[in-house]
Amino acid sequence: MSEHRLPEPDRPWVMRTYAGHSDARRSNELYRRNLAKGQTGLSVAFDLPTQTGYDPDHALARGEVGKVGVSIAHKGDMHTLFDGIPLDEMNTSMTINATAAWLLALYATVADENGVERLARRPGRDQDVVAREVELVHGRMHGWIDLLAFDARTGTVVIVEIKTRLDDLGVIERQLGWYERRAFEVARDLGWHPRRLTAWLLLLASDDVDAAIRANREALGTAFAMRAPEMLASLEGRSARVGRGLALIDPTSRRQGWLIRARVDGRRSAAPFRDYANAAARFTSGSGPRPAADPPPRGSSSLRRSCR
């Protein structure tokens, strides 16, 4: 048999259903049912008033509201439409033309207020150099590294993959493997001078994630051997050890030690969130579970500071 034309097989196709009807609440129920049955992406159908920029109570919208798709009139509708759906892990298609910019802005705002952007903001301070959403393309393969960080003092490139849930460890490992193979090339294209490479998997600190880590404890121990203290030592050059690390994060925390160990790694305190839906509700309301701490010392690297 001849060698495969790509360095590795294509990823499974994204399976979507072009769907949306009535109002945001009922469409959300439909999306969640479809995702629970194995659908791997969303394709949102909007009604004609939404597509043409009319409010649902406008005279020209009469008889068309919610007929051929879901009716979206404001940000609250968009929040309801994606309630409980982890947007950082979702491949979403929206069929729109005239109102595309407005609807895309609503989608981005909802993702931001649900904490998706907050998860990616934490390591980007002080002396760290951070590139966000680094695009990778190889043939028909297409993906994004959530964060690619570089510490010039140690020459360490850190691949950061951020997840709100731990659903398929095999997919995550293959994804990180591809990122690792391309990271040095991408880092040089960014003008960095990398000497070492490490990869971090950062998961939302929730009861759901703790349970998933416990269920996959043996596999995770092999695939992600480092935890927060080792990740810090590797980053600072105090240890020659490099590889993959696993930690949890509380994106609402202002403490220096916002990088958290899993329960199976010895953490005694409860997780700050029950699941992603609980975290998203807190992000939206602004009621973070932890009080603000003293400001961090000046001049310290955020990636180092995060592990303490």
Q: 65-71: which pairs have CB atoms within 8 A and are 24 or more residues apart?
A: 66/21, 66/22, 66/23, 69/20, 69/21, 69/44, 69/45, 70/20, 70/21, 70/22, 70/23, 70/24, 70/27, 70/44, 70/45, 70/46, 71/22, 71/23, 71/24, 71/46, 71/47
In the chain, domain spans: 18-114, 119-306
Query: Looking at residue 237, what is its pLDDT?
Result: 63
Query: Looking at residue 173, what is its pLDDT?
Result: 92
- What are 96-105's pLDDT values in tens digits? 878 888 998 8
Distance CA 199, CA 292 (A): 29
Buried b (16+ CB within 10 A) or exposed e, 85-123: bbbbebebebebeebeeebeebbeebbebbbbbbbbebb
- What are 229-272's pLDDT values in tens digits? 787 777 666 777 788 999 998 877 766 556 789 999 988 999 99
Query: Looking at residue 298, what is its pLDDT?
Result: 35
Note if the pTM is more than 0.75: no
Q: Which residues contact 182 (CB under 8 A, 6 or more apart)?
A: 136, 138
- What are 58-84's pLDDT values in tens digits? 999 999 999 999 999 999 999 999 998
Distances (CA, A) of 268 to 38, 72, 254, 262, 290: 34, 44, 20, 9, 16
* Mean pLDDT of the 177-200 span: 90
Query: Looking at residue 294, what is its pLDDT?
Result: 38
Query: Which range among 55-64, 203-212, 226-235 shows the weakest confidence by mean pLDDT?
Result: 226-235
